[in-house]
């Protein structure tokens, strides 16, 4: 290869690799205190999920971040709550916890986006083609994520809604909940080890025999931690499938002995 060409190509490749590796890296969230005023209440999103209509242009929803991808157990999403309603916002970036830390308040400019129920919880994202299965897609590219989702205020870490297994209902799906008095039955194992799936479900029981599955991704940083063999309290985002309720822990600290 021509030596002059090598001198040109190598610096270019280095520049491309640096830019590529840093594409989804963030140092800290940028707070814009003059954030948008909410034009749609979170509870109104259910109307669009039921009808299948896209959110009208100019629509803005807002809420507090109660969960993000900090541990790797929630993938490319942040979860917001406002006035007792939770919604998962699908965003096609990694390291979202740096941009949208738990406790901060964000405004989402969601005109033209779709709303759908995923495992009982409301989710906002891009509309999908008919052949893709009917689940909203994460918002992309990065420039659109940053233009649509804005941090409007910092805040304290939110408190979870405390309830028992017998009190769970579909209206709580998508919310941060806390359930106490649970125990694991079975051979000692970890939260996230499994052979044939990208996640593992571990069933916990209360004293009355009610149960809930705790779902942990293999990529979660606490996946290999052993499940305590004592009574525990767990916190996480609530979902529901055909077989019952499912919870995703935000991180290992959501398990309290």
At 148, the pLDDT band (50, 70, 90 cuts) reads very high
- pTM of the full structure: 0.87
CA–CA distance, 103 with 158 (Å, rounded to integer):
6
Instruction: Tell me the pLDDT tens digit for each residue of 30-77.
Output: 766 555 678 999 999 999 999 999 999 999 999 999 999 999 999 999
Assign 193 a pLDDT band (cuts: 50, 70, 90).
Answer: confident
């Amino acid at each position: 290869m021509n030596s002059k060409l090598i001198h040109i190509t190598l610096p270019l490749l280095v520049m491309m690799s640096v830019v590529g590796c840093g594409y989804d890296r963030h140092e800290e969230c940028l707070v814009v205190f003059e954030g948008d005023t909410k034009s749609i209440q979170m509870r109104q999103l259910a109307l669009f999920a039921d009808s299948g209509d896209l959110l009208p242009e100019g629509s803005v929803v807002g809420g507090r971040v109660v969960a993000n991808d900090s541990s790797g157990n929630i993938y490319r999403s942040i979860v917001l709550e406002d006035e007792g309603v939770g919604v998962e916002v699908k965003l096609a970036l990694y390291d979202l916890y740096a941009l949208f830390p738990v406790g901060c308040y964000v405004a989402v400019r969601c005109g033209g986006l779709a709303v759908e129920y995923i495992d009982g919880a409301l989710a906002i994202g891009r509309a999908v083609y008919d052949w893709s299965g009917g689940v909203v897609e994460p918002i992309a590219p990065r420039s659109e994520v940053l233009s649509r989702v804005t941090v409007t205020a910092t805040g304290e870490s939110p408190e979870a809604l405390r309830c028992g297994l017998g009190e769970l209902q579909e209206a709580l799906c998508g919310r941060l909940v806390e359930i106490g008095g649970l125990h694991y039955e079975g051979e000692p194992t970890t939260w996230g080890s499994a052979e044939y799936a990208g996640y593992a479900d571990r069933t916990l029981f209360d004293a009355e025999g009610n149960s809930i599955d705790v779902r942990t991704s293999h990529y979660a940083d606490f996946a290999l931690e052993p499940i305590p063999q004592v009574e525990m309290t767990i916190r996480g985002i609530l979902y529901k499938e055909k077989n019952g309720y499912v919870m995703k822990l935000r991180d290992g600290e959501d398990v309290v002995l």
